[in-house]
Amino acid sequence: MRRKICFIILIILLTILSVSFADEELTVSGRVNAEVYADQAMEQHYGITQLLQEYFLKTVTEEDDNVFIVRYEGLENYAHVLGRYEVTVDRNQVTGITWSHDDENTSGGFDAEAWGKEQIMEMLRLNQEAGNTYIIDARVAEINEKHGFYYAPAVLSDEERERILDKEEKECEEARNLSVLSIDDMTEIARHAVASLYDLPPEREQALENIVDAEEQPLWFTVYEGEPCYTVCFVLDDKEDDDVLPNGVVYTEKEGNYWVYVNVQTGIIEEVSYSAGIGGNG
């Protein structure tokens, strides 16, 4: 009963917190909209903020018309200890949220066998101080072995890598040929999208630095989820003095890296992703 009551409260909070897309100049895809609601649900239900998503791979699947499953899965050898979160977004309403370690004990720091927000924050601190998380690798391996989880990175042959590169080059050319918007216009659309979706004031919006050199811009066209897109990458590092979080992590909210996929024909935002860049994955 307590979990049901908490979930009802979560729905109410999401209604209050949800991002408004009333600005007629910004049009986002259904998947982006679903990710906004899912991210809010993750923070409200499990305390997993966008900063704490550093060690997760986020994927979005459209199960039905405007019904999306947003998954957050621990990266590589962290896949078991961090587990997998799933959020169901049905027509802009979160209707379900689960974690593969629900009801497991996460107390005791790294001694626990299921790691939640407290352990992830400590992982960020370790990575920021030492440049890696080697100090906990043995513990991760121990937990993985106990639960029969083994991570084996994919090894591609030279032929497979060549096929992937050929495919990327063809998709780049295809998207570039289909483009009806200028690179400058798409860059400004992307800038506006980041500011709107991440609630940046005007001065921080203008501080977003496009890191793609002009001569390389023609190479940043791609096909994303079947749609021809142009990719824009911004870095936000606009505060002279960073904040220090309670556990010692040095981080100013919303600083980091933003990747935006802009549809080259419609200007629709097909995807936006963010990384603070302090988890070794930025």
The residue out of 153, 172, 196 marking a domain boundary is 153
pLDDT of residue 240: 76
Q: What angle do CA 75, 79, 81 make, to 5 degrees?
A: 125
Residues 37 and 170 in one domain: no
Could you tell me if 187 and 55 lie in one domain? no
Q: What is the pLDDT of residue 243?
A: 85
Q: How high is the pLDDT of residue 140?
A: 96
Average pLDDT over residues 80-108: 96
User: How would you label 163-196 residue by residue, b for 16+ Cβ within 10 Å and e otherwise?
Assistant: eeeeeeeebbeebbeebebebeebbebbbbbbbb
- Look at 55-59, 129-133, 137-141 and tell me which has the smallest mean pLDDT: 129-133
pLDDT digits (tens, 9 = 90+) for 177-208: 999 999 999 999 999 999 999 999 999 999 99
Residues 107 and 209 in one domain: no
Residue pair 197/234 in contact by the 8 Å Cβ criterion: no
Same domain as 18, residue 111: yes
Number of domains in the chain: 2
**Same-domain check for residues 146 and 160:** no
Same domain, 149 and 26: yes
Q: Which helix (H) or strand (E) holds 40?
A: helix 30-46
Type of residue numbered 243: D
Residue 49's domain spans which residues? 1-153
Last residue of a domain, which of 91, 121, 153?
153
More confident residue, 247 or 14: 247
185 and 109 within one domain: no
H or E segment at 230?
strand 227-236
Proportion of the chain above pLDDT 70, given as a percent: 90
Q: Domain check: are 180 and 147 in the same one?
A: no
Q: What pLDDT is attached to residue 280?
A: 63
**Taking the model in full, what pTM does it have?**
0.86
Higher pLDDT, 24 or 226: 226
Confidence of residue 77 (pLDDT cuts 50, 70, 90): very high
Span 44-51, mean pLDDT?
Answer: 96
Please say which residue of 153, 176, 211 terminates a domain.
153
* pLDDT greater than 90 at residue 244: no
Reported as a single tens digit per residue, the pLDDT across 59-74 is: 999 998 889 999 999 9
Task: Based on the fold, state whether residues 96 and 7 are members of the same structural domain.
Answer: yes
CB distance 47 to 117 below 8 Å: yes
- The per-residue pLDDT of the chain, averaged, comes to 89
